[in-house]
Amino acid sequence: DQQVKQNSPSLSVQEGRISILNCDYTNSMFDYFLWYKKYPAEGPTFLISISSIKDKNEDGRFTVFLNKSAKHLSLHIVPSQPGDSAVYFCAASWDNNNDMRFGAGTRLTVKP
């Protein structure tokens, strides 16, 4: 049941450049999307979210873009920093349903 897919298991970028992490979903009922960040030996931490009524949400260096027609969202990190190196999970949920679906994660490595 892969309703949320992150097709890139890993991504490597240079410090200061842009990191773009992608996520696709199949369930058109999803109306809220979230990104979580996970360091080794820690639980995932909430990073940023976006409602389906928006197409962009920005928080500092992090911006999430949503393309509902393509059922695609992306997370942009600008500029990337070595401390951003972690696994990033995309997640989706639908209203009044607490069954949040997660992607498999993308391991981001930011090289100094």
Partner 1 sequence: DSGVTQTPKHLITATGQRVTLRCSPRSGDLSVYWYQQSLDQGLQFLIQYYNGEERAKGNILERFSAQQFPDLHSELNLSSLELGDSALYFCASGGGIPNYGYTFGSGTRLTVV
Q: How far is the CB of 109 from partner 1 (least distance, A)?
A: 16
For residue 48, list its beta bridge partners: 35
**Residue recorded with tokens 């992490």:** 21
Q: Retrieve residue 101's tokens.
A: 């679906």
**Residue closer to partner 1, measured from CB, 3 or 74:** 3
**Residue closer to partner 1, measured from CB, 79 or 107:** 107
Q: How far is the CB of 74 from partner 1 (least distance, A)?
A: 17
Q: How far is the CB of 41 from partner 1 (least distance, A)?
A: 7
Q: Retrieve residue 65's tokens.
A: 């873009």
Burial letters 68-84, b for 16+ CB under 10 A, else e = beebebbbbbeebeeeb
User: Which positions touch partner 1 (CB under 8 A)?
Assistant: 1, 4, 6, 9, 32, 34, 36, 41-46, 49, 51, 89, 91, 93, 97-105
**Residue closer to partner 1, measured from CB, 77 or 92:** 92
Q: How far is the CB of 105 from partner 1 (least distance, A)?
A: 6
Strands of the sheet containing 4-5, edge to edge, are 4-5, 19-25, 72-77, 62-67, 56-59
